[in-house]
Amino acid sequence: MTLSLRDLAQDVLKGNRRSVARLMTAIENEDPESRAAISQLYPHTGNAYIVGVTGPPGSGKSTLIGQLAKQYRKLRKNVGIIAVDPSSPFTGGALLGDRIRMQELSADEGVFVRSMATRGSLGGLARSTVDLVNVLDAFGCDIIFVETVGAGQSEVDVIKLADVVMLVMVPGLGDDIQAIKAGIMEIGDIIAVNKADRENAERTVLEIREAIELDTEQKEWIPPIVKTIATSNEGVEELVKKLEEHRVFHMKAGSARTRIKGEIQLLEALKARLSETVMVGLKGDRDYEIMIEKIASRQLNPYEAAATLVDKIVRRNQD
């Protein structure tokens, strides 16, 4: 309890699991000191392969990640799992049986499972996730799965930080497949069609292949489609193979993506810092309170108010 967060960072580097958990809690609580710890860990990051996993609720993402984790453990890799999806069994949002299976997984010393319990108010989700990934990376995880439901803006931001995005689909999504074709599909590097023993699995694969072919004429990496049945571990080895193929591809093509990831990390940190700095100044400020009252009563419009505030806050070039 008397350990500072900086010491915590040292303990994370030494491989202390409890320190990892405590630092993560500090990050989730948006404890400002957690930033110093992250800063200390940052030079030790960049080694993990970060796999974003997304797809509709009920597609079996968590079970599939669980099986992938076991497979990677057989290859003697250390595995990290971060669940951002509020309906994930990892976040306690599922049936007891699922949760017990997940607990089994996290009893393995080579696996670290963490769910995002909270949702920050100022875009905190994406930022916290970046930090959690960095902690697991510095801790020594070789591969980190980040599970998101993939529907919101924040989740899309999270996905941008992944080295590879695995999209988990399921036969018989009906209407929803159209939407996914149009939207989320374009971010999938590897497509798993899970629950492939269901009827219409073949048709789903064909539909996805068509959508991919329409979309990827100039792409260097054509997203492979792998049929899986997570509950019986079918197709999981194949999925690992594809993930590893993509890792090789990614390393060759890497520098552009590394730069983008650098910029995203900077922008996230910048937005957080700006919001905090500005909010600290505003909270309790009499003018700010009056502005809110006026906006609520429609006497002032929010854009005008924001412009006034920004003029007060931001240093101009002539300064």
| Least distance CB 158 / a copy of itself (angstroms) | 10
Q: Is 263 in the site for a copy of itself (CB under 8 A)?
A: yes
Tell which one of 178, 213, 216, 241 touches a copy of itself (CB under 8 A). Answer: 178
- Cα-based distances in Å from 229 to 64, 131, 235, 289, 308: 8, 32, 7, 56, 57
57 binds a copy of itself (CB under 8 A): yes
Distance separating alpha carbons of residues 146 and 164, to the nearest angstrom: 10
Is residue 164 within 8 Å of 250, Cβ to Cβ?
yes
Spell out, one character per residue from 273 to 292, where the chain touches a copy of itself: x when CB under 8 A holds, - when not: xxx-xx------------xx
The nearest distance, CB 55 to a copy of itself, in angstroms, is 11
Q: In what order do the strands lie in the sheet with 79-83?
A: 111-115, 79-83, 143-147, 49-54, 164-169, 190-193, 225-227
User: How many chain residues are in contact with a copy of itself, going by CB under 8 A?
Assistant: 82
Among 4, 216, 232, 258, binds a copy of itself (CB under 8 A): 258
Nearer to a copy of itself, 17 or 119 (CB): 119
Does 15 bind a copy of itself (CB under 8 A)? Our answer is no
Q: Are 118 and 28 in contact (CB under 8 A)?
A: yes
Minimal distance in Å, beta carbon 17 to a copy of itself?
23
Asked if 271 touches a copy of itself (CB under 8 A), the answer is: yes
Mask for 64-93, x = binds a copy of itself (CB under 8 A): ---------------------xxxxx-xxx
Using the rule CB under 8 A, is 110 a contact of a copy of itself?
no
Task: Give the DSSP letter of residue 89.
Answer: G
Distance in Å from the first CA to the final CA of the chain: 45
Instruction: Rule CB under 8 A: say whether 33 interacts with a copy of itself.
Output: no
For residue 299, the minimal CB distance to a copy of itself (Å) is 8
Environment class of 21 (CB within 10 Å of its CB; exposed 0-12, middle 13-18, buried 19+): middle
Token code pair at residue 290: 């009056």
Query: Does 125 sit near a copy of itself (CB under 8 A)?
Result: yes
> Is residue 176 near a copy of itself by the rule CB under 8 A?
yes
Burial class (CB in 10 A: 0-12, 13-18, 19+), 280: exposed
The two most distant CA atoms of the chain are separated, in Å, by 67
Which own/partner contact pairs does 278-286 have at CB distance under 8 Å and 24+ positions apart? 278/309, 278/313, 279/122, 281/313, 282/309
Of positions 149, 190, 208, 229, contacts a copy of itself by CB under 8 A: 149
Residues 181-210 that bind a copy of itself (CB under 8 A): 182-184
Determine the interface stretch with a copy of itself among 115-123, 163-171, 205-213, 229-237 (rule: CB under 8 A).
Answer: 115-123
Compute the least distance from the CB of residue 19 to a copy of itself, in Å. Answer: 19
